[in-house]
Chains A and B, each alone.
Chain A
Amino acid sequence: MNARVVAALLAAVTLAAGCSSSPAPPTAVTVAPATVTPAGAHGITAAPARADEECDREASLRPRSQPAPGAMPSGSTMAAIAERGRLVVGVDQNTYLFGFRNPSTGQLEGFDIDVAREIARAIFGDPDRIDLKVVDASQRESALTSGKVDVVVRTYSVTCERRRSVAFSTVYFYANQRILAAKGSGIDSAADLADKRVCAVTGTTSLSTLFAMEPRPALVGVATWTDCLVMLQQGQVDAISTDDAVLSGLNRQDPTVEITGPPSLAVEPYGVGINKDHEDLVRFVNGVLEQMRADGTWQRLYDRWLLGLGPSPGPPAARYQDP
């Protein structure tokens, strides 16, 4: 009888001691890993604005008799530029191979810049008489209409919508929209993108093409193409899709990715943008481009800058709207 009482007492004492000796520990702080995304990155769910109007976008004005350098016809736009002494060109400094700043020299270089130099050479006989002004993609039309620049040579895709406010030269380069993804990712066609996250710059024609895909991939819009590469490297997106010219520049910066998919998801014709009122300058620039196609200059520039895109397809043929 006593033994049972003692046992019960012991149990009670042990329980009481156990309770009082382990107060709840103070709560430890826990935080989630810091999440980072490039500034302005956002999911694209609404259709990007895109003019669906139809037109013969690539047809330009036929060149007349081409004046010799230094002998511009008086009263023409070219004569005014010659008078000023320099050709003012709107360019990019951020697109590798087309218009970019060489880190070792600090100079702007690229295929677009060299095309601009050829125009200066045709006016002055000197390719260095140019002023390069950095313009953003969204400023290209306003820079031309306000007269801030004479021409824009800046991976400028000819579209029907843009043709309503500015004039374009004939096409000097065809870019193809393709896909950049990690090697061994298994992404090999547009259909493979279906359930993947794909990055593109907001407001570009590339994004519109991606948005129109059926089924539509999960789209992320960012400010610049290098932001897309950061997101690809950090595993935040599975692929990037835009012009092969841009993708090739990104591929050079990361050996673990590759350009893949069909040869062309969409074709982007690049032209020189010119003020709509300066028809004489449009014809003159087309004359310069004709000459570049004919005398091998175009080929030389392609070989200098764009061989990484593959063997030269040859200069694009000119199309004119007038006989």
Chain B
Amino acid sequence: MSVIKADNVRTHFGKVRAVDGVTLDLADGATLGLVGESGSGKTTLARTLLGLTPATSGTIETAGVSVRGAGRAARRALHRDAQLIYQDPHASLSPRLRVDALLTEPYRIHKVPDADRWSVAELLDLVELPAEHAGKYPHELSGGQARRVGIARAIALRPRLLVADEPTAGLDVSAASAVLNLLRRLTSEIGLAYLMVTHNLDTVGYAADRIAVMYLGRIVEQGPVADVLHRPAHPYTHALVRALPVPDPAARTAGPPVTGEPPSPRNPPSGCHFHPRCPRATDRCRTEAPEPLDLGDDRRAACHYAPDHLETPLV
């Protein structure tokens, strides 16, 4: 069963094509990392999939709900079964509620019968917070602790899908690693499907089974994370992998893999959006927008030359 089934989804804001023809599938219990640089449309796509930002066209089915044109009851079910963890944990927790109230609020909103509720202590235990945090206010929590409360709130309703937008943004290395470990353990123990939205390829490579790489509103490559990162079929994916600063002084990169910065989504380049920065661009790339090609082994890439790149790895 798919928890997300999106077909040719577009989300346009006036002239800005933030999401421009995305087709995506996430199976129940699977984890997908959605990666892109700022302005790639990854956050807009995640919000569109959850029905928080209306799509301009296409079909979306999330957690069994047809998102576009869903009625009140269907939206309520969607907002129960698909949960979003926000980027800034302090901004997403009401400063006036104590942690115990924050954790039981979802139950009150969705009128969950007592038998189906986790206790506050159980929820705190799930996210590895000591029980005495129940009496604290958000301002008394560190960034990592607030993030855990946000995660506990999201899983309280036992959703089918968890969406996390930059779950470790703003956290120190040690707090970030604890949150990543926690999310990895929870999603596998509870059998949650998990969509992680991030700019950090290493986080996705660590946390997800599958990866989807976005560039200017389009998914340029998707597939099993290890296969895609070890042997990218799209030159943009390859550039992202090469640009990652490896924490190993013995493996220094020769120089930046690409020049320039992503162009404005207001005025995207013709043909393949990546062609002005692509070292391999041909005349065809300048005029003809590549359709996602099925490469087998559960992989797709939107590059005219993707099959060649699988045969002769990009260097």
A binds B: no
A interface residues, Cβ below 8 angstroms from B: none
B interface residues, Cβ below 8 angstroms from A: none
